[in-house]
Amino acid sequence: MKKDKLYIALVGLPARGKSTIANRLRDNLRKDNIRVRIFNNGDLRRRLTDRSSSDPEFYAPSNTEGSTLREHIAMINIGRARDYLARKGQVAVLDATHVSKKRRNKLSRLLDDHPVLFIECINEDKAILEASVLRKIMLPEFSHLCREAAIESFNKRINYYQTIYSPLDDERNFVILDSLHNKIIREEISGTIPFYDRIRDFLVTDTVKNLFLVRHGETYFNLENRIGGDSELTENGRGQAHAIADYFSQVKIPFIFTSTKERTRQTAVPIHAAQKACETIELKEFDEIDSGICECMSYEEIRKKFPAIYGDRKKDKYNYTYPGGEGYVTMKGRIYTGIKKALYLSGTSDRIMIIGHRAVNRMILAHFLYRRQEDVPYIYVPQDKYYHIVATQDKKLLQLKPFMSID
């Protein structure tokens, strides 16, 4: 039926998460038996051209040869998308930058048989952009360059796109999305857009197909009940890390996220080593709660030296903030940012692992589980088990599982 068909055109500079959104959107809509296909200009360019199209000068607006070729590629995909919807297809996703008004007008003119929904992806977080660029330069088209040259080349390409970038404004149907925070910044819809309710919900939903949430192995501080600090793993802790590594050795985990603390990094080492292809990324956002003037003390020492702190914290643990440090309540923002960064950087990966700390993992669990605030500081986070979390539009699952054999 005519009304059941839709073009979606992504908009945004390179490395803003467009392809991740396109792929996830396709997987998501397919679950509802909607026929979706992605038409990606970058993939087509890599197939049709030689290495010269990876050169930043290929993207210079003044390079007529480059722009003619890119225009040609765009036209092929526009034609294919139109054909697809003319046959059995229901949603055609055009995955390209579409940053100039001229290109978007052309697209709207040529795709006039069904509504076009533009989705602009914005993300200006510097650290995330740097990490995204590092992932982009792993593409074979940069393999002839050293790391620095590849980064420079890709950034130059982004700059050329920047010169012709004109954000969405007067298009008939569009959504501007903060693709790091899954937040709709602006929405203008002037007609009936098929599947729109589902698409919009998808855009603002955190999706994680499989998150393995692990706590670091036992540390010397744990043995003495000392909090914070940067203690190393004990022999037992190293054994726990190896047990996790063995347990997951047959499960592909392309991304492991740790804090910047020694204990999570040491836990990650054997797990990373047991994987064939895996990237380990440290995020400061996942550092353990900063206990301020109580750092490195045991609970017993705090009780004796700072009885008021000890007592006040007991009264309202979630809202209590350590003098000179943090509380669960003040950690919320950074943990949220950490989760967003991990999900963004892992793109369309089916599995990710986060190796965190007791308070950090409680906050991560609370994010996916919607626990009552006052209960969060009491969530069980053992060192011989992990939480398996699934959070998609259709499924929410949380399971505590052992990774050590019980014999």
List of residues contacting ligand F6P (CB under 6 A): 227-228, 288-289, 291, 357-359, 377
CB of 377 to ligand F6P, least distance (A): 5
CB of 148 to ligand F6P, least distance (A): 38
Toward ligand F6P, which CB reaches closer, 265 or 358?
Answer: 358
CB of 263 to ligand F6P, least distance (A): 9
CB of 189 to ligand F6P, least distance (A): 45
Give me the phi and psi of 89, to 5 degrees please.
Answer: -60, 150
Toward ligand F6P, which CB reaches closer, 20 or 219?
Answer: 219
Toward ligand F6P, which CB reaches closer, 104 or 317?
Answer: 317
Q: Are the C-beta atoms of 269 and 238 separated by less than 8 Å?
A: no
DSSP 288: P
Toward ligand F6P, which CB reaches closer, 120 or 285?
Answer: 285
Distance CA 152, CA 56 (A): 9
Toward ligand F6P, which CB reaches closer, 143 or 380?
Answer: 380
Distance CA 187, CA 216 (A): 42
CB of 343 to ligand F6P, least distance (A): 23
Distance CA 271, CA 281 (A): 13
Chain centroid to CA 401: how far? 24
CB of 372 to ligand F6P, least distance (A): 16
Toward ligand F6P, which CB reaches closer, 61 or 307?
Answer: 307
Structure tokens at 33: 């038996």
CB of 159 to ligand F6P, least distance (A): 43
- Pairing outcome for strands 116-122 and 6-11: parallel
Toward ligand F6P, which CB reaches closer, 177 or 335?
Answer: 335
Radius of gyration of the chain (CA): 24
- Helices (H), ranges, 87-195: 101-110, 126-136, 147-163
SS3 25: helix
SS3 62: coil
Q: 222-227: long-range contacts at Cβ-Cβ below 8 A with a sequence spacing of 24 or more?
A: 222/383, 224/298, 225/298, 225/299, 225/300, 226/296, 226/297, 226/298, 227/291, 227/294, 227/295, 227/296, 227/297, 227/298, 227/299
Exposed, middle or buried, 225 (CB in 10 Å: 0-12/13-18/19+)? exposed
Toward ligand F6P, which CB reaches closer, 229 or 347?
Answer: 229
Toward ligand F6P, which CB reaches closer, 185 or 223?
Answer: 223
Q: Are the C-beta atoms of 139 and 47 separated by less than 8 Å?
A: no
CB of 244 to ligand F6P, least distance (A): 17
CB of 290 to ligand F6P, least distance (A): 8
Place of tokens 């038996």: 33
